[in-house]
Amino acid sequence: MTCLIFDPITKVRVEAASTIATMLEGQALVLTQVAEYKESSKLGSFTTLSCSLGQILMQLHTGMMFLVQRETQTTLLAAVFRVLILLISATPYPRMPKELLPTVITAMCGRLLDRNSNKNEHYALLVNVLSCLEAAFAKVPPSSDVFGVLIDHCAGPSLAQQKSSVVVILLRCIEEEMHFSVRCGALQVLRSVVHNYPSCANIIWEKVRDIVLDLLQTESFEDQKCDANFGPPKEELSTKGRCLVAGIKVIDECLRVSSGFKGADDLKECRLLDIQQISDCTVNKSIKSAPHFEIETPGPSQNCSLDITLGTNRWTEVLETHLPRGLSHASAMVRTASLTCFAGMTSDVFFSLPVNKRDYVTSSSVHAALSDAVATVRSAACRAIGIVSCFSQILSSPCLPGEFIKAIDFNTQNSSTPVRITASWALANLCSSIRFRALELQTDPTADLLDKSTISLLVEIALRLTKDGEKVKSNAVRALGYLSRFIRFNHHCDAVDDSRNSVFYGDPVCLQTMVQALMSSVTTGNVK
């Protein structure tokens, strides 16, 4: 650190920064051993490892902040920012002084306000600063002190104070005159901000909405120049394309906030519903794709009901203007990001939309799952189908379940493993909804349900998937578990005259096959 700050030779200082960065890489687990940092009132002959680690982290932060605020050499600054990103990612801030992370954020924003740094030729410096801010705002659990820095001066008495607020600074970085790399970095920061501090969604919504719509309306992006030996650049490497994708992801995050989205993200959480019904305890599971609402709603307000009017209005607006352009875009990345928005919808918001908007959501997802040639797009479409399949009311539609099953079946046979994983996840969610409706029939005999052939097809698909890889098999087993909850195997099918109620009865041979499939999965890792 002494060489990094004081050595007169720039090359030596850069090498010192690289050495520190190498030492910090992969050390997040080790640094979790840090004891709660406290200023030492006396010096002793022995210091525990946990206390020493805390002091090292404080010294590193002090040195990095000193350089960030005073250094002007571009090459050295790039190395310093690399160290700072690793330092932020590895530091357990809940055990450090509460003002430490807000201090880092304030120093970074000071760099964004620097007029010399805002020159177009210095955009690489701004990108590094924004990368540090993204790492800072992405730290979990969210901090009330960081939230205080975010909202500070947002509604200040003077225009100068408002311009110095963190949110306003970030919004200025996404304006049209900024370099696309800077706009992309700022949008990524805003996504982290909204995810961990959802109250900021209302502050940035209008600005981000207009910026993203402007990007979508651009008919074509300029091609990047590249060496002729390497041919034309891939679309995924387009800075403008990445900027548009980052913008759509911010829109997605804002929609999740206004919809009150709290799940589901990974491939395990739906199991908790059944487990909690038969146990005395409630399992609290963190869903990575759900915004962190806790930080803004402490105490009793956590249980207040959500007003979905805002979510409905924003979804209606986006379905009319943004998503039709995004879903028909030439870029697979843009289509994937647009479909991912559907995976953040909630049942209340979905059924509060006009019928034509609901039809657009489902038909677009099914069409992409069946027709798009790109695996990532199909995977996103299957995830959207899996989310909508969780809404048990969807089974009331005369044809929609059949369309979902067709899309799911088609993608479970795809050569891409990620596509098969999300398709099998959608299958399990659909089976969960069917099981829920089937058990409701005990009190509502007039309720409509799928016919026997459709249930047989679902069983067939699930059985086939139990022979796939571990993650696919895990979802297939979950689907079989849901189906076995309501299919009755203690009656022969030909003894039942009512075709509607025959869905409750299954062939005993089918039961034997299901049991064998489940038994074969018991010894397999996560499936077990």
pLDDT for 513: 72
User: Does 469 reside within a domain?
Assistant: yes
Torsion region of 153: left, alpha or beta (phi above 0 gives left; psi -120 to 50 gives alpha):
left
Question: Comparing C-alpha atoms, which of 204, 187, 220, 193 is closest to residue 105?
Answer: 193
Amino acid 388 reads V
User: Does 320 reside within a domain?
Assistant: no
CATH code: domain of residue 184? 1.25.10.10
Q: Tokens for 440, please give them.
A: 């409701």
pLDDT for 367: 97
Amino acid 239 reads T
Q: Is 365 helix (H, G, I), strand (E, B) or coil?
A: helix
Counting the structural domains of the chain, the total is: 2
Tens-place pLDDT, residues 491-514: 554 544 444 444 445 565 566 676
Q: State CA 285 to chain mean position distance.
A: 15
Instruction: Look at residues 196, 220, 240 and tell me which one is the last residue of a structural domain.
Output: 196
User: Does 314 reside within a domain?
Assistant: no
User: Does 295 reside within a domain?
Assistant: no
Radius of gyration (C-alpha) of the chain in whole angstroms: 27
Among all chains, which residue has been given the structure tokens 């620097």?
Answer: 114
Instruction: Quote the Cα angle for 15-18-20, to 5°.
Output: 115
User: Does 211 reside within a domain?
Assistant: no
Work out the number of other CB atoms within 10 angstroms of the CB of residue 500.
16
Tens-place pLDDT, residues 406-441: 999 999 999 999 999 999 999 999 999 888 887 775
**Distance between CA atoms of 355 and 351, rounded to whole angstroms?**
8
Instruction: Look at residues 196, 217, 235 and tell me which one is the last residue of a structural domain.
Output: 196
User: Does 150 reside within a domain?
Assistant: yes
Question: Dihedral sign, CA of 194, 287, 261, 292?
Answer: negative
Q: For each of the chain's 528 residues, which pLDDT tens digit applies?
A: 999 999 999 999 999 999 999 999 877 777 777 766 666 555 555 566 678 888 889 999 999 999 998 988 889 999 999 999 999 999 999 989 999 999 999 999 988 887 555 555 578 889 999 999 999 999 999 999 999 998 886 655 544 555 678 999 999 999 988 989 999 999 999 999 999 999 999 999 999 999 999 999 874 444 434 444 444 455 444 888 999 999 999 999 999 999 988 875 433 344 444 444 444 444 455 566 778 766 544 433 333 346 789 999 999 999 999 999 999 999 999 999 999 999 999 999 999 999 999 999 999 999 999 999 999 999 999 999 999 999 888 888 878 889 999 999 999 999 999 999 999 999 999 999 888 887 775 644 335 557 778 888 998 999 899 888 889 988 998 998 888 887 766 555 454 444 444 444 556 556 667 677 667 767 666 665
Cβ pair 141, 94 in contact under 8 A: yes
Backbone angles phi, psi at 295, to 5 degrees: -65, -30
User: Does 330 reside within a domain?
Assistant: no
Instruction: Look at residues 157, 173, 196 and tell me which one is the last residue of a structural domain.
Output: 196
Angle between helices 166-173 and 180-196 in degrees, nearest 10: 140
Backbone angles phi, psi at 488, to 5 degrees: -100, 125
Strand ranges, E, within 253-403? none
**Distance between CA atoms of 315 and 258, rounded to whole angstroms?**
9
pLDDT for 335: 96
Q: Containing H/E element for 454?
A: helix 452-465
Torsion region of 231: left, alpha or beta (phi above 0 gives left; psi -120 to 50 gives alpha):
left
pLDDT for 242: 93
Q: Is 505 helix (H, G, I), strand (E, B) or coil?
A: strand
Containing domain of residue 525, as a range? 365-528
pLDDT for 415: 95
User: Does 486 reside within a domain?
Assistant: yes
